[in-house]
Structures are given as C-alpha cells and as structure tokens.
Chains A and B, each alone.
Chain A
Amino acid sequence: MRLVLLAIALVFAAPVLADSDMPPAYWANRQLPNPQQEERAQSLMQEIRCLVCQGESIADSDAELAGDMRDLVRRRIAAGEKPASIRSWLIQRYGNWISFRPPTQPIGLPLWLAPLALLVVGGLLAASRLKRRRSQ
C-alpha cells in the first residue's frame, strides 16, 4: 500500500527544474532579420552540440544554455563573423567534441577504412567459397 501511494505521489511529483526563471536570451528563439545570415546561423547551430543534452544540436535543444549559445551564434553572425571562426572559437573552449563535424584526424582513419577493408575481406571470402563450390 505504501509503495502504491509512493508510486502515485511520484506520478504527480514536479521535477526540480535546473533552470533559471529568466526569459530566454534575445536571439535564442528569434530569427535574424537578414535571411542569408539566419541561414548561415541555422546551418552552424545544427552542427554545434548542446552542452546539456549532449546528443542534440543547439538548434534542437530546449536547454537554457543552448538558447544562450544560439544567441551567441546569431549575434556573431549578425556582426559579420564567419561561421568557421565561431566554430573554432567554441572548439578552442570545449574541444572538437562540441562540433558534430569534427576535423579529420588520424584517430578517425580506421572508421573510414573499415568499410573498404570489410568489402575486400567479404569479396575474398565470397571468391574462395564460389571457387570451392565450382571445384566440387
């Protein structure tokens, strides 16, 4: 009975909000008036990882910090900064992890070569099996 009550209580429990009650930053959920700039900001925001919901981009995340990061991106784009420079500013602070499009590095090489290697291995395997079947 106590367990049931606890379960019912949990259903109605309000989660502790780890957010301030300040309104979102000005450019967090507002498009830039210049459509070209907004497009540039959008494509960058889709490639920047949210620091809170780490699987989402800041374009998708509802976290407050993601809103602040969108504000930062839009402000800098509006001020004429290049997306690449904003990206590298963020990478300087958070590492390549912050970008969903990390630079090609030697450590990622196996990932690119694995499909080729698997294709070659598969081809050899198939060839040897076919040969064996033919000789039977």
Chain B
Amino acid sequence: MTGWLRFAPILLLVLIVAAMLWRLANPPDTTVHSQMIGKPVPQFALAAAVPGVQGLSSAQLADGKPKLVHFFASWCVPCIGEAPVLDQLKKQGLTIEGIAIRDRPDELAGFLARNGDPFDRIGSDPESKTQLAFGSSGVPETFVVDGRGVIRLQHIGAIEPNEIAAIRAAVEQAR
C-alpha cells in the first residue's frame, strides 16, 4: 500500500457518499410511463358511467378525429382541481372522452354537477381493466388518441393551466 493507493478507500467512500447525495438531490422519477404510445388503443367496450350519457368503446376512438381520453374518478381529489382546465380545453374545441375508474353512478353524477361535464361520452371501468390495458396507473391521466385510434401521448397527473398549449399542440399534431 504505497503512494496514492493508500487513499483509494477514502476516495471510494467519497464517491459513494457523493452518489448518495446526488440521488437525494435528484430523486428518481416514480411515474409509470405507458409503453402503449404509438400503438392502437386496446379493445374495450364500457357501459355508460352515469345514466343519460353514452358509454365508450375502442371503435369510437378511431372515427377520424383526434381526442383526449381522460381517466378520472369522483373520489379523485386532483380531478376536482383539474376540472376547470378540462372545461377550457372543451371550450377550445377539443373532444374529451371520459373513463371513470371504480366509480358509482350517483357519486359520479354529483361530481359532474359540481365540477362541470366536459365529456362527450363516459365509460365506466369498475375494475380498472381498461386503465390497465392502456398502461395507465392512476387518476387523473389523459391520453391523446389520433383519428386512427393510435395513442400518441400520455399525460400523467392533472393538466395544469400552463400545459394547455402543449396538450392542444399534441392534439393538433395527431390530426
């Protein structure tokens, strides 16, 4: 053990501590990204989530027009905060299809009455089956689906007001 080799263990320790500190300062991304981007939407046919609206099926997502497919729920707190943003997107001419996760018709109806209903159709996904088929892992999540029914983008979490432009651009691109 001569010369600089003597300091090798200390150097190793410093490197390990530095790596740990770096990881603490830059926590890893824990969001789960869907691998379905660029693939056609999975086959599904969901019953209407509330009386009086239409259910949603995969065939309806390939009708030539790009759409947002929005996974949400009445028990999801961030979804309440996101409602005005969805409303704005709807007013700007976007089609938003809803998929309600593990929800009850009465509770969902109350949620729509309180927070607004920007959805063209709302399908009910009581066991998260369609959510799993999309590669989605929570609510709220929004997918951009192009006119051929191909998934183009996944937005994880609530859409913030400053992200409206990006969502609109993605839908424009999917045309």
Stretch of B45-53, B85-93, B121-129, B157-165 contacting A (4+ beta carbons < 8 Å)? B121-129
Closest to B32 in A: A51
Identify which of B76, B127, B137 contacts A94 (C-beta below 8 A).
Answer: B137
Kindly list chain B residues whose C-beta atoms are within 8 Å of the C-beta of A93. Answer: 34-36, 132-135
Evaluate contact between A72 and B102: CB separation under 8 angstroms.
no
How many chain B residues touch A (Cβ–Cβ < 8 Å)? Answer: 25
Evaluate contact between A71 and B127: CB separation under 8 angstroms.
yes
B77 within 8 A of partner (CB):
yes
A105 within 8 A of partner (CB):
no
Evaluate contact between B77 and A16: CB separation under 8 angstroms.
yes
Nearest-Cβ distance from residue B123 to partner chain A, whole angstroms: 16
A44 within 8 A of partner (CB):
no
Interface residues of B in 82-136 (CB under 8 A from A): 101-104, 126-129, 131-135
Nearest-Cβ distance from residue A91 to partner chain B, whole angstroms: 8
Interface residues of A (CB under 8 A from B): 16-22, 25, 51-52, 54, 64-65, 68-69, 71-72, 90-95, 97
